[in-house]
C-alpha cells in the first residue's frame, strides 16, 4: 500500500515533467509541475484504494483534479508563471488511457460482428468504457479549471 | 522638422495607430501559443489602459478582432489579425503575460515594450533531443501507472521514442498536424503491439494502450473548458472540436496499427 502510493507519486511526477516538455514551458515550472502531479495522482490513488474510501474513479479524478488546480493557482505567483501552464501537464497522468484504448478496441470488434448477441456485448463494452472515459476527462478538466476562476485575483496576477 | 529614425521609429507617447499595431501583434502571438480567452482579454486591456486607451476584443477561432480608441474618443482603429500558429508554447504565454504586467506597472515604455515583444517572439525552443527523451520516459512511467511491468515499459519507451521522432520530423516539414498525429499513432501502435506478438511481459495490453497516449491533445481540452466557464462558447467549441478531431486521428492511427498487426482478438 505504502510502496504503491510512493510509486504512484514518483511515476506521475516523471510523466508530468515529460508531458510538460512537449509544450515548451519555462524552466521554473518543472519542479512545481512534478509536485502538483505527484500530490494529485497519489491523492486519487488513496481515494480509490479500498482501504481508504474505495471511491469510484470519476468523482475521485474530479476531486484530485480540483486539488491540482488549487495547488497550481497557489504555486503560480511563487514561480511567476500562469497557473494553467502549471496544472495542464500535471493533469495528463490522470488521463484514462486504458479506458480509451478499450473503447477503440470495442468499436473495432463491434464493427466486425455479425451475430446479435456478440454485437450487443461489444456495444455494451464500447458504451461503458467510452462513457467512463468521457466523464473522467470532463470531471478532471472542470475540476482543475474551477480554482482558476474562484481565485481570479491570484491566478491572473501571478506573472506580475 | 525631420526627426531621425532613432529607436526604430518609436515615439515615447504612442499614437493610437501604433498601439493598435502593437496590441494586434501581441494578441496574434498569444492566441497562437494556446492562451485562454480570459487571459488574452485581461492582458490586452491591462496594457491598453497603461497607454491611456480602451480596447475591445472579439476572439474567434481563426482570427482576433481588436478595436482601439483613445480616451477622448478622438481616434478609433480596428484590426483583424490571424493567430500566429506555432503550437502550444507555455514559455511564450508566460513571457507575454509578464510583459503585460510590466507595461501596466509602468516599468516599460512603449518603445521598450515593442522591442521586448520582438525578442519574445523569436525566443528559442527547448532542445528537441531532450524533449524526445523526456517524453519517452514520461510515457514509459505512464505505462507503469496503468499497471504495466518492466518489459511493457521498455516497449512503450521505444514506441514513444520512434513515434515522437516521426512527429518532430514531420512537423519540421510543416505537414498537416492531423496527418502527423495519424502517422505517429500508427507507428507507435505497431511497435507497441510487438509485446503481444513476441509475448514480452505479462501486460502487453497495457503497453499497446499506453504507446499512443503522448499524442492526446490535453491542453486544447483544458483550454476549451476554461473558455466555456468564461462564456466564450464559440471559441470553446472550436478548441474542443479541434481536440476531438486530433483524438479521432489518433484512434484511427491506432485502429490501422492494430489491423495491420492482426491482433488475436479479430
pLDDT digits (tens, 9 = 90+) for B235-246: 999 998 998 899
**Distance separating alpha carbons of residues A35 and B56, to the nearest angstrom:** 38
CB spacing of B222 vs A88 below 8 angstroms: yes
Nearest CA in chain A to B41: A156
- Residues B142 and B256 grouped into a single domain: yes
Of B95, B121, B147, which marks where a domain is finished?
B121
Residue in A5, A11, A42, A62 to test binding to B, most B beta-carbons within 10 Å: A11
- Residues B132 and B257 grouped into a single domain: yes
Asked if residue B178 is part of any domain, the answer here is yes
Chain A residues lying within 8 Å of B226, measured CB to CB = 84, 145, 148
The total number of structural domains in chain B stands at 2
Of B121, B144, B178, which marks where a domain is finished?
B121
**Distance separating alpha carbons of residues B11 and B109, to the nearest angstrom:** 10
pLDDT band at A23 (very low <50, low <70, confident <90, very high): confident
- Residues B27 and B137 grouped into a single domain: no
- Residues B247 and B136 grouped into a single domain: yes
Does B88 touch chain A if contact means CB atoms closer than 8 Å? yes
* Strand-pair partners of B64: B59, B81
CB spacing of B94 vs A26 below 8 angstroms: yes
The pLDDT value recorded for residue B263 is: 61
Note the ipTM here.
Answer: 0.85
Asked if residue B223 is part of any domain, the answer here is yes
- Residues B167 and B222 grouped into a single domain: yes
Residue A86 to chain B, least CA–CA distance (Å): 9
Residue B89, C-beta contacts closer than 8 angstroms, at least 6 positions apart: A23, A24, B33, B34, B125
pLDDT digits (tens, 9 = 90+) for B6-16: 445 566 667 78
CB spacing of B209 vs A146 below 8 angstroms: no
* Closest partner CB to A145 (pick from B93, B98, B229): B229
pLDDT digits (tens, 9 = 90+) for B97-130: 989 998 888 888 888 888 888 898 888 888 889 9
Half-sphere exposure of A88 (CA within 13 A, CB side): 30
Asked if residue B250 is part of any domain, the answer here is yes
> 3-class SS at B36?
coil
- Residues B57 and B26 grouped into a single domain: yes
**Distance separating alpha carbons of residues B192 and B156, to the nearest angstrom:** 6
Rounded alpha-carbon distances, angstroms, from residue B96 to A81, B19, B93: 10, 16, 5
Helices B218-229 and A116-150: angle between axes, nearest 10 degrees: 60
Of B121, B148, B176, which marks where a domain is finished?
B121
DSSP A100: H
- Residues B111 and B132 grouped into a single domain: no
**Distance separating alpha carbons of residues A34 and B264, to the nearest angstrom:** 38
The answer to whether B49 and B12 have CB atoms below 8 angstroms apart is: no
Whole-angstrom Cα Rg for chain B: 23
Q: Which structural domain, as residue segments, surrounds residue B69?
A: 16-121
Does B105 touch chain A if contact means CB atoms closer than 8 Å? yes
**Distance separating alpha carbons of residues B136 and B166, to the nearest angstrom:** 13
Hunting for cell 501502435 — which residue is that? B189
Amino acid at each position: 500500500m505504502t510502496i504503491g502510493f510512493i510509486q504512484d507519486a514518483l511515476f506521475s511526477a516523471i510523466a508530468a515533467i515529460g508531458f510538460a516538455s512537449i509544450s515548451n514551458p519555462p524552466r521554473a515550472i518543472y519542479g512545481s509541475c512534478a509536485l502538483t502531479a505527484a500530490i494529485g495522482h497519489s491523492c486519487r490513488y488513496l481515494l480509490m484504494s479500498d482501504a481508504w474510501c474505495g471511491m469510484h474513479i470519476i468523482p475521485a479524478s474530479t476531486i484530485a483534479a480540483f486539488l491540482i488546480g488549487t495547488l497550481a493557482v497557489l504555486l503560480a505567483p511563487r514561480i511567476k508563471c500562469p497557473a494553467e501552464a502549471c496544472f495542464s501537464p500535471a493533469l495528463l497522468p490522470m488521463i484514462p488511457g486504458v479506458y480509451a484504448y478499450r473503447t477503440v478496441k470495442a468499436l473495432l470488434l463491434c464493427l466486425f460482428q455479425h451475430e446479435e448477441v456478440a454485437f450487443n456485448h461489444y456495444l455494451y463494452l464500447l458504451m461503458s468504457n467510452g462513457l467512463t472515459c468521457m466523464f473522467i476527462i470532463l470531471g478532471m478538466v472542470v475540476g482543475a479549471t474551477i480554482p482558476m476562476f474562484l481565485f481570479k485575483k491570484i491566478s491572473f496576477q501571478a506573472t506580475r | 522638422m525631420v526627426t531621425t529614425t532613432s529607436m526604430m521609429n518609436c515615439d515615447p507617447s504612442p499614437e493610437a495607430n501604433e498601439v493598435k499595431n502593437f496590441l494586434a501583434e501581441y494578441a496574434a502571438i498569444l492566441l497562437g501559443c494556446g492562451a485562454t480567452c480570459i487571459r488574452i482579454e485581461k492582458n490586452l486591456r491591462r496594457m491598453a489602459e497603461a497607454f491611456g486607451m480602451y480596447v475591445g476584443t472579439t476572439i474567434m477561432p481563426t482570427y482576433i478582432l481588436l478595436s482601439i480608441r483613445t480616451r477622448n474618443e478622438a481616434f478609433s482603429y480596428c484590426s483583424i489579425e490571424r493567430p500566429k500558429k506555432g503550437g502550444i508554447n507555455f514559455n511564450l504565454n508566460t513571457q507575454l503575460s509578464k510583459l503585460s504586467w510590466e507595461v501596466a506597472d509602468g516599468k516599460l515604455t512603449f518603445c521598450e515594450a515593442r522591442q521586448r515583444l520582438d525578442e519574445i517572439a523569436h525566443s528559442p525552443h527547448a532542445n528537441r533531443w531532450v524533449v524526445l527523451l523526456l517524453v519517452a520516459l514520461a510515457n514509459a512511467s505512464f505505462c507503469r501507472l496503468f499497471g504495466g511491468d518492466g518489459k511493457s515499459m521498455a516497449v512503450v519507451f521505444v514506441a514513444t521514442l520512434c513515434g515522437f521522432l516521426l512527429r518532430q520530423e514531420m512537423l519540421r516539414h510543416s505537414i498537416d498536424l492531423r496527418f502527423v498525429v495519424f502517422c505517429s499513432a500508427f507507428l507507435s501502435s505497431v511497435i507497441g503491439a510487438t509485446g503481444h506478438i513476441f509475448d514480452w511481459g505479462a501486460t502487453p495490453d497495457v503497453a499497446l494502450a499506453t504507446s499512443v497516449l503522448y499524442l492526446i491533445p490535453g491542453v486544447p481540452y483544458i483550454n476549451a473548458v476554461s473558455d466555456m466557464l468564461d462564456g466564450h462558447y464559440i471559441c470553446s467549441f472550436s478548441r474542443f472540436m479541434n481536440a476531438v478531431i486530433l483524438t479521432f486521428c489518433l484512434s484511427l492511427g491506432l485502429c490501422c496499427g492494430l489491423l495491420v498487426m492482426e491482433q488475436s482478438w479479430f
